[in-house]
C-alpha cells in the first residue's frame, strides 16, 4: 500500500499556502513533513482526508496505490488520522469508541477486547474515557483508528501534548503498530524529535514561490 | 441537495411570513384589500388614523415605554455586572434568573398586578402603618404614563439580558482583562465598565435591540399593565382590528404601519445614542479616573431589587391561585385551598393540550430546521451563517403587530386560519430565531476535528450527526428546547391572529380572563402558563446529568 | 372606506333573505348532530357564566353526544369580526363560529348583513318562552329578533353598594352626581367599550334626555346631539369625581367588582340582579353589599344565542340552543347559587314537575324580589349605544 500526493496545492482566498507538493509514502518508511505554524501542514492532512475547512480550496491528486481517492467522501477514503488531542467521543464508553469504526460482523467484541489488551487496558471497555490518563487515551485513540482498517495513517502532531516520557512510549507504540499493519504513515510536526523517531524521510513544506 | 437549501429553508420559513405579512399590512394601510372592497390606492386609512383623538399620546407612550424599558433593563444589568462580577451575589443572580426566564410575560404581569395594584400586597403591607382601611385612589398600575407597564417589561427583559450578558462574558477573557485593569489601579466596578462592558455590549447588542422592538409593540403586557384610555399604539391596532365595523380594518392597518415606523425611529434613536455615548465612554476609559465605584455598586443593587420583585410577582400569582377569601387590607388570605384549581380544571385542560402540542411541534420543527441549517453552515462556512442569521432574526426586530396583521389577512384568504398548520407555523416564526440563537454558539464551539475523526473512521455525515454531534450537544439541545417551549407558551398575538378564534392556548386564555376577572383564576392561569416552560427548563438542567451520569466530560 | 361600504352593502342585499335551519324534523336534527362539535363564542369575563357553560357542555355531551367548546372572548365583537371577516373573504360555509352569545349592536350588525341563520322559532323549547310577558325575548333593543337568535337569559341593571360604607345609596343618575361629588373617587363605571359601561351611560340618558320616545328610533346626527346634550353635561360634571379622576376605567364588570371587593370604590353597576348574592357566597364581595334599582326603573334586556349562516355545525348549534332553553338548564341558570339569571320561560307553560324546579330554588342573601326590581326600561335602538360609545371614546381620549 502506498500513499502518493501529486502536485497538491492549497489556497486560502486565492493565496497559495505552500509550493506545490508531490511525494510518495511507503509502509515502513514514515514520512515527516515539517514547517512553521500556519504553513498549511494540518490543512494538507485535512485535504487528504477530505475534510478541508470551508474557505480553503485544494487541488492535486491523492492516491492509495493506484486508486485516486480525491473525489471520494471522507468516510470512503479509508484514511486514518490522529490529532494533537485524542478526540475520544466523550459520550461513548472506551469500548464503544473502539467499536465506532469497526465494521459490524462476527468477532466484533473479541476484536475490541483484543484492542483493549493491546492498549494495555484489558477489560476496561465500560470505562468513561474521561476517567483515563492522557497516555491511555492516546493509545485508545490509535487503536480506534486502526480498528477501522485504514489504508494509510496520518499523524497531525499527535505527540506534542504528551510529556517527555509518555511521548517516547507512544511514538514507539504508534510506529510499531503502523509497521505491523504495513501502513504508509505521513506525519506533520515541528518537533525534530518526532521526525527522528519516525526514522523515515523528512521533507520541509516550502513557502510558495513569490508571484 | 443544493448546498444552501437548508439555510434557505430555515430563513424562508421565518422570513416569508414576516415579509409577506408586512406587505399584507402595508397594502390595506393604503386602501388596498380586495376582500373588503379596497381596490384602489388611497390615503383615507391614514386620514382616519390621524383623526383619532389621543393618537399622539398613544404614539408617545409606545416610544417612551419601549425606550425606557430597554434602557432600564440594559443599564441595570450593566451596573449589576460591573458591581458584582465574580462575587457570590453574581452567582446567586445566575441561579435566580432560571425560573424568571421560563415564566411567560403575562404570568409576571399578573403577579405584578397582585403586588403593585392599589389593593396589592405592597399597599396591604403599608395599610396598618398608614391607617388605610380602603386602598388609596392612586394609579399605581395601569397608569397613564405607562410606568407600571415599563416595570412589568423590565421584570422580564432584565433577566433575559443578564442571561445574554453571562453568555457574552464567557466568550471574552473577562477575568484576565479585569485582573489587568485592577493591577493598573482601577477599582473593579470602574474597570468593568471601562474595559469589559464595551466588549460585552458588542455581543449583546442584537438582544438589546430585540428587547426594544418587542417592548415597542407588546400587546398582552400592555393590556394587563398599560392604561385603558389612550393605550400604546399596538393595543389600538388589535382593538381596531377586532372592531365589528370592518372599515376600521383600514386605519388598523395604517396603525400597524405606524408601529413599524415608530419602532424604526426608536431603533434609530438607540443607534444615535450608541454613536454619541461610544466616544464618551472611550474618553472616560482613557482618562485614568478611578472614582465612581460606590455609585456603580449602588446602581448595581437595582437589578437585585428587580429580580427579587420578579420572583415575588411569581410567588404572588401562585399565592392567589390557592387563596381563599382575601380582602383588603389583610396581608394574607383567611385560608388556603385548591378550590380555584379544581374549579378551573375543565377550562384548563383544552388550552393546556393546545399549548403543549403547539409548543412541542413548533420547537421540534425549529430544532430540525436549526440543526439542518447549522450543519449546512458548518460545511459551507461563515458567509452562509451571516445570511441565515439576518433572515431568521427578522421576527425579533420587526414588531409583531405590524406583520401578524397581514399574516392573518393572508391566512383568512387562503382559508388556512384557525388550523394547526397556521398556528404552529406562526409560533415557529418566533420559536425558530430563539432556538437557532441558543444553538449557534454551542454548535460553532463544537470541535470540528471530532466530526473529521468520525468521518475518517468511516462514518457518513448523517451517522456523524446522529451518533456524535447530537449526543454531545444534548445539553444545548435541551436548553434550546426549553427556550422554544417558553417562547411558544408565551405567544399571545401570534396565537390570536393565527388561531382564528378556534385555537385557545393558556396565553390567550390568561389574557382573556385577566381583563379584570377573579384574581384567583388569574393566578391559576399564570401558574399553569409558567408550569410548562419551568418543567422543560428543569429537564434541560437535570436530564443531561442523568443521561451522562457516567460521562464526566458531559455531565 | 367608501369602496368597502358599497361592497358590504351589495353583499348584504344579496344575502338579505336569511338562510333557514330546517328544524321541523327535530329528532333528525338531533341525530345528525351526534358526534359534532360546536364552537360557542361567549364572553368569558364572568367565572359563574363560564362554569355554567362548562356544565352545559357536560350535559349536551352526555345527552346528545355534542361536543360544546367554549371559545372564550374578551369582547363579543371579536366573534362578530370573525364572522364578518370570513364572509368578506368568501368563506360561506365551515366558518369558525357556530354559536354566539350576543345582543344589541352585535346582533344588529350580523342581522343587517344577513349573516344569521333563522332557527330559533323552530326549536321545540321555544314554545315555552314567555314572549308576551317578556317582550325583550323577541325584540332586542327595539329590533325584531325574527327567529335569528334564541333568548337564554334575562338581565336587568342593578346597582350594588357596600351598605357598611354607604347606607343610603343614590337612587337616580342625578343623585349619582351628588354622591360622586361628596365621595370623590369612590364610584367607577366600566369603560364604555364594554357593554356594561355603555349601559351605565344609556341608563343616565334615559333619565336625562328631554324626550325618551326618540330612543326607540335609530339615532341620526341631529337627534343624537339634542337627546344626548344633557347626558354629556351631566357626565362632564361627574367624570372628575370618578375613580382615578375619570382618566382610566375598569375593563369590565368583573374588574369593577374587584374594585368594590377591595374597597377601592363603594358603588358599582351590574347587569345581574343576583350578582351581589352570588359574589357574597363565593367570597368575591363582602357580605355587607346590597343590590338596588333606581327609582325611575332600570334598563333590562335579554341575552341571545345566534348561529352564523356560515357556521360549520348549525344543526349541533341548534341542539345546544334548544338545550339552553330547556327547563333543566333555565332552572339551573336561575339558581342564585349558580348564575342567578332570570329565566326567559313562562312558568305557566311548564309541566308541574318542571315548574317545581323553579319553585324549589333557594333565595340568596340580599336578593331583590320581582316587586323590588321595579319596572324595566326597554333598551334604546342599538345605534344609540354605538354612537354613545363613539362619542365617549372621543371625549375621554382627547382630553
* Helix axis angle, B249-287 to B55-84, nearest 10°: 30
Instruction: Please name the member of B382, B452, B553 whose beta carbon is closest to the beta carbon of A49.
Output: B452
Contact across the interface for A83 and B551, Cβ inside 8 Å: no
Q: How far is B91 from chain C (nearest CA, A)?
A: 40
Residues of B with a Cβ under 8 Å from any A Cβ are 379-382, 447-461, 467-468, 471-472, 474, 548, 550-554
Quick one: pLDDT band at residue C399, thresholds 50, 70, 90?
low
Instruction: Please name the member of B39, B57, B328 whose beta carbon is closest to the beta carbon of C263.
Output: B328
Which residues from C are below 8 Å from B350, CB to CB? 69
For residue C328, the model assigns a pLDDT of 96
Phi first, then psi, for residue C73 (nearest 5°) are -110, 145
Distance from C-alpha of A90 to C-alpha of B468, rounded to nearest angstrom? 9
Residue closest to B318 by CA, chosen among B305, B292, B336: B336
Chains that touch C (3 or more CB pairs under 8 A): B
Cβ–Cβ under 8 Å, residues C241 and C186: no
Is pLDDT of C193 > 60?
yes
Contact across the interface for B457 and A54, Cβ inside 8 Å: no
Distance from C-alpha of B486 to C-alpha of B499, rounded to nearest angstrom? 18
Q: How confident is the model over C336-361, as pLDDT tens digits?
A: 889 888 899 999 999 999 999 998 88
Distance from C-alpha of B191 to C-alpha of B196, rounded to nearest angstrom? 7
Distance from C-alpha of A167 to C-alpha of A161, rounded to nearest angstrom? 8
Q: Does C4 touch chain B (CB under 8 A)?
A: yes
* Helix axis angle, B382-392 to B420-445, nearest 10°: 140
Instruction: List CB contacts of B341: < 8 A, sequence separation 6 or more.
Output: B321, B322, B524
Quick one: pLDDT band at residue C6, thresholds 50, 70, 90?
very low
Quick one: pLDDT band at residue C19, thresholds 50, 70, 90?
low
Distance from C-alpha of C197 to C-alpha of C243, rounded to nearest angstrom? 14
Distance from C-alpha of B281 to C-alpha of C272, rounded to nearest angstrom? 63
How does the average pLDDT of chain C come out, rounded? 89
Quick one: pLDDT band at residue C20, thresholds 50, 70, 90?
low
Q: How far is C70 from chain B (nearest CA, A)?
A: 9
Distance from C-alpha of C18 to C-alpha of C114, rounded to nearest angstrom? 6
Distance from C-alpha of A71 to C-alpha of A49, rounded to nearest angstrom? 10
Q: How confident is the model over C302-320, as pLDDT tens digits?
A: 999 999 999 999 999 999 9
For residue C8, the model assigns a pLDDT of 37
Q: What is the ipTM of this complex?
A: 0.94
Contact across the interface for A100 and B451, Cβ inside 8 Å: no
Which residues from B are below 8 Å from A80, CB to CB? 456-457
Phi first, then psi, for residue A68 (nearest 5°) are -80, 130
Q: How confident is the model over A11-46, as pLDDT tens digits?
A: 988 889 998 999 999 998 999 999 887 888 999 999
pTM of the model: 0.89
SS (H, E, C) C98-153: CEEEECHHHHHHHHHHCCECECHHHCHHHHHECCCCCHHHCEECCEECCCCEEEEE
Q: How far is C82 from chain B (nearest CA, A)?
A: 8
For residue B527, the model assigns a pLDDT of 94
Contact across the interface for B228 and C5, Cβ inside 8 Å: no
Q: Is B203 helix (H, G, I), strand (E, B) or coil?
A: helix
Low pLDDT (below 50) residues in chain A: none
Quick one: pLDDT band at residue C46, thresholds 50, 70, 90?
confident
Instruction: Please name the member of B229, B346, B519 whose beta carbon is closest to the beta carbon of C247.
Output: B229
Which residues from C are below 8 Å from B118, CB to CB? 262, 264
Contact across the interface for A81 and B468, Cβ inside 8 Å: no
Total length of chain C: 399
Q: Does A49 touch chain B (CB under 8 A)?
A: yes
Q: For A74, name the nearest residue in chain B, comparing CA atoms only.
A: B455
Q: How confident is the model over C117-161, as pLDDT tens digits?
A: 999 998 999 999 999 989 999 999 999 999 999 999 999 999 999
Mean per-residue pLDDT pooled into runs of 10, chain B (555 residues) = 69 87 92 83 94 93 97 96 90 86 92 93 92 88 94 96 90 87 88 92 92 93 92 93 83 94 96 93 86 90 95 94 88 90 87 95 95 83 70 87 84 79 93 90 89 94 94 94 94 87 86 77 92 93 90 84
Give mean pLDDT, residues C201-206.
96
Q: How far is B103 from chain A (nearest CA, A)?
A: 32
Residue closest to B103 by CA, chosen among B305, B304, B321, B317: B317
Q: Does C81 touch chain B (CB under 8 A)?
A: yes
Cβ–Cβ under 8 Å, residues B392 and B12: no
Distance from C-alpha of C148 to C-alpha of C119, rounded to nearest angstrom? 6
Distance from C-alpha of C119 to C-alpha of C100, rounded to nearest angstrom? 13
Amino acid at each position: 500500500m502506498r500513499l502518493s500526493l501529486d502536485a497538491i496545492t492549497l489556497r486560502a482566498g486565492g493565496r497559495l499556502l505552500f509550493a506545490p507538493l508531490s511525494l510518495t509514502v511507503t509502509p515502513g518508511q514514515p514520512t515527516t513533513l515539517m514547517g512553521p505554524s500556519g504553513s498549511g501542514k494540518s490543512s494538507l492532512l485535512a485535504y487528504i482526508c477530505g475534510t478541508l475547512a470551508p474557505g480553503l480550496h485544494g487541488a492535486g491528486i491523492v492516491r492509495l496505490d493506484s486508486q485516486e481517492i480525491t473525489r471520494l467522501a471522507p468516510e470512503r477514503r479509508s484514511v486514518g488520522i490522529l490529532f494533537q488531542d485524542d478526540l475520544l467521543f466523550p459520550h461513548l464508553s472506551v469500548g464503544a469508541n473502539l467499536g465506532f469504526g469497526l465494521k459490524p460482523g462476527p468477532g466484533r467484541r473479541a476484536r475490541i477486547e483484543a484492542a483493549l489488551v493491546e492498549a494495555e487496558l484489558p477489560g476496561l471497555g465500560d470505562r468513561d474515557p474521561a476517567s483515563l490518563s492522557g497516555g491511555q487515551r492516546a493509545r485508545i485513540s490509535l487503536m480506534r483508528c486502526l480498528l477501522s482498517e485504514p489504508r494509510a495513517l496520518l499523524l497531525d502532531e499527535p505527540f506534542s501534548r504528551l510529556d517527555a516520557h509518555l511521548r517516547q512510549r507512544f511514538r514507539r507504540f504508534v510506529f510499531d503498530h503502523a509497521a505491523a499493519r504495513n501502513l504508509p504513515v505521513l506525519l506533520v510536526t515541528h518537533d525534530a524529535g518526532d521526525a527522528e523517531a519516525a526514522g523515515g524521510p523528512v521533507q520541509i513544506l516550502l513557502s510558495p514561490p513569490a508571484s | 441537495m443544493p448546498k444552501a437549501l437548508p439555510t434557505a429553508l430555515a430563513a424562508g420559513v421565518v422570513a416569508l411570513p414576516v415579509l409577506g405579512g408586512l406587505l399584507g399590512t402595508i397594502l390595506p394601510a393604503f386602501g388596498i384589500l380586495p376582500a373588503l372592497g379596497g381596490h384602489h390606492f388611497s390615503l383615507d386609512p391614514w386620514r382616519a388614523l390621524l383623526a383619532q383623538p389621543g393618537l399622539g399620546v398613544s404614539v408617545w407612550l409606545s416610544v417612551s415605554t419601549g425606550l425606557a424599558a430597554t434602557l432600564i433593563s440594559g443599564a441595570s444589568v450593566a451596573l449589576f455586572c460591573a458591581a458584582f462580577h465574580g462575587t457570590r451575589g453574581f452567582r446567586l443572580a445566575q441561579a435566580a434568573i432560571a425560573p424568571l426566564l421560563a415564566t411567560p410575560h403575562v404570568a409576571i404581569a399578573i403577579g405584578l398586578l397582585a403586588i403593585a395594584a392599589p389593593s396589592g400586597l405592597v399597599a396591604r403591607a403599608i395599610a396598618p402603618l398608614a391607617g388605610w382601611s380602603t386602598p388609596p385612589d392612586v394609579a399605581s398600575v395601569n397608569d397613564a404614563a405607562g410606568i407600571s407597564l415599563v416595570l412589568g417589561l423590565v421584570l422580564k427583559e432584565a433577566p433575559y439580558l443578564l442571561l445574554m450578558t453571562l453568555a457574552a462574558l464567557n466568550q471574552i477573557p473577562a477575568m484576565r482583562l479585569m485582573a489587568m485593569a485592577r493591577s493598573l489601579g482601577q477599582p473593579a466596578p470602574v474597570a468593568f465598565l471601562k474595559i469589559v462592558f464595551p466588549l460585552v455590549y458588542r455581543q449583546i447588542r442584537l438582544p438589546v435591540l430585540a428587547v426594544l422592538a418587542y417592548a415597542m409593540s407588546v400587546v398582552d403586557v400592555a393590556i394587563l399593565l398599560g392604561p385603558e384610555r389612550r393605550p400604546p399604539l399596538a393595543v389600538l391596532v388589535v382593538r381596531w382590528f377586532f372592531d365589528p365595523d370592518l372599515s376600521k380594518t383600514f386605519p388598523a392597518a395604517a396603525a400597524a404601519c405606524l408601529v413599524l415606523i415608530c419602532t424604526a425611529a426608536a431603533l434609530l434613536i438607540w443607534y444615535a445614542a450608541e454613536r454619541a455615548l461610544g466616544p464618551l465612554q472611550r474618553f472616560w476609559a482613557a482618562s485614568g479616573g478611578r472614582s465612581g465605584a460606590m455609585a456603580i455598586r449602588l446602581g448595581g443593587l437595582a437589578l437585585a431589587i428587580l429580580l427579587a420583585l420578579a420572583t415575588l410577582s411569581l410567588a404572588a400569582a401562585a399565592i392567589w391561585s390557592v387563596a381563599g377569601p382575601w380582602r383588603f387590607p389583610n396581608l394574607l388570605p383567611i385560608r388556603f385551598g385548591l378550590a380555584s384549581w379544581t374549579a378551573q380544571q375543565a377550562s384548563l385542560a383544552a388550552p393546556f393540550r393546545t399549548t403543549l402540542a403547539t409548543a412541542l411541534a413548533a420547537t421540534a420543527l425549529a430544532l430540525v430546521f436549526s440543526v439542518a441549517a447549522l450543519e449546512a453552515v458548518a460545511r459551507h462556512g461563515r458567509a452562509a451563517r451571516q445570511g441565515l442569521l439576518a433572515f431568521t432574526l427578522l421576527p425579533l426586530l420587526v414588531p409583531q403587530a405590524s406583520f401578524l396583521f397581514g399574516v392573518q389577512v393572508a391566512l383568512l384568504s387562503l382559508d388556512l386560519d384557525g388550523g394547526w398548520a397556521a398556528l404552529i407555523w406562526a409560533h415557529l416564526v418566533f420559536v425558530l430565531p430563539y432556538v437557532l440563537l441558543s444553538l449557534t454558539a454551542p454548535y460553532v464551539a463544537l470541535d470540528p476535528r471530532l466530526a473529521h475523526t468520525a468521518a475518517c473512521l468511516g462514518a457518513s455525515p448523517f451517522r456523524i450527526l446522529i451518533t456524535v454531534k447530537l449526543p454531545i450537544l444534548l445539553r444545548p439541545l435541551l436548553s434550546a428546547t426549553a427556550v422554544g417551549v417558553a417562547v411558544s407558551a408565551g405567544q399571545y398575538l401570534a396565537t390570536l391572529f393565527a388561531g382564528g378564534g378556534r385555537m385557545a392556548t393558556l396565553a390567550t386564555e390568561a389574557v382573556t380572563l385577566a381583563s379584570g376577572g377573579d384574581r384567583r383564576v388569574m393566578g391559576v392561569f399564570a401558574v399553569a402558563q409558567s408550569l410548562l416552560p419551568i418543567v422543560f427548563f428543569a429537564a434541560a438542567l437535570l436530564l443531561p446529568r442523568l443521561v451522562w451520569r457516567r460521562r464526566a466530560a458531559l455531565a | 372606506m367608501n369602496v368597502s361600504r358599497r361592497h358590504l352593502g351589495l353583499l348584504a342585499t344579496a344575502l338579505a333573505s336569511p338562510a333557514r335551519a330546517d328544524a321541523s324534523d327535530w329528532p333528525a336534527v338531533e341525530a345528525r348532530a351526534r358526534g359534532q362539535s360546536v364552537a360557542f363564542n361567549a364572553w368569558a369575563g364572568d367565572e359563574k357564566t363560564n362554569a355554567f357553560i362548562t356544565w352545559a357542555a357536560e350535559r349536551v355531551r352526555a345527552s346528545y353526544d355534542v361536543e360544546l367548546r367554549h371559545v372564550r372572548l374578551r369582547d363579543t365583537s371579536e366573534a362578530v369580526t370573525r364572522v364578518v371577516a370570513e364572509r368578506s373573504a368568501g368563506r360561506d360555509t365551515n366558518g369558525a363560529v357556530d354559536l354566539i352569545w350576543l345582543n344589541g349592536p352585535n346582533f344588529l350588525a350580523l342581522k343587517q348583513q344577513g349573516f344569521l341563520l333563522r332557527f330559533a322559532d323552530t326549536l321545540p323549547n321555544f314554545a315555552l318562552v314567555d314572549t308576551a310577558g317578556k317582550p325583550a325575548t323577541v325584540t332586542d333593543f327595539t329590533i325584531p329578533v325574527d327567529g335569528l337568535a334564541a333568548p337564554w337569559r334575562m338581565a336587568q341593571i342593578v346597582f350594588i353598594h357596600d351598605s357598611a360604607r354607604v347606607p343610603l345609596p343614590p337612587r337616580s343618575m342625578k343623585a349619582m352626581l351628588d354622591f360622586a361629588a361628596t365621595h370623590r373617587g369612590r364610584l367607577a363605571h366600566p369603560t364604555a367599550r364594554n357593554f356594561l359601561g355603555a349601559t351605565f351611560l344609556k341608563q343616565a340618558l334615559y333619565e336625562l334626555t328631554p324626550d325618551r320616545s326618540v330612543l326607540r328610533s335609530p339615532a341620526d346626527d341631529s337627534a343624537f346631539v339634542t337627546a344626548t346634550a344633557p347626558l354629556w353635561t351631566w357626565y362632564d360634571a361627574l367624570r372628575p369625581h370618578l375613580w382615578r379622576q375619570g382618566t382610566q376605567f375598569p375593563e369590565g364588570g368583573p374588574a369593577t367588582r374587584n374594585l368594590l371587593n377591595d374597597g377601592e370604590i363603594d358603588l358599582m353597576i351590574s347587569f345581574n340582579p343576583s350578582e351581589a348574592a352570588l359574589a357574597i357566597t363565593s367570597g368575591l364581595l363582602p357580605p355587607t353589599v346590597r343590590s338596588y334599582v333606581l327609582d325611575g326603573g332600570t334598563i333590562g334586556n335579554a341575552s341571545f344565542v345566534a348561529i352564523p349562516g356560515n357556521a360549520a355545525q348549525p344543526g349541533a348549534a341548534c341542539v345546544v340552543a334548544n338545550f339552553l332553553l330547556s327547563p333543566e338548564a333555565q332552572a339551573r341558570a336561575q339558581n342564585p347559587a349558580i348564575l342567578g339569571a332570570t329565566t326567559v320561560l313562562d312558568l305557566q307553560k311548564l309541566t308541574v314537575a318542571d315548574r317545581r324546579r323553579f319553585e324549589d330554588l333557594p333565595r340568596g342573601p340580599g336578593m331583590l324580589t320581582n316587586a323590588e326590581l321595579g319596572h324595566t326600561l326597554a333598551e334604546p335602538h342599538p345605534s344609540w349605544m354605538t354612537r354613545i360609545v363613539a362619542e365617549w371614546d372621543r371625549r375621554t381620549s382627547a382630553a
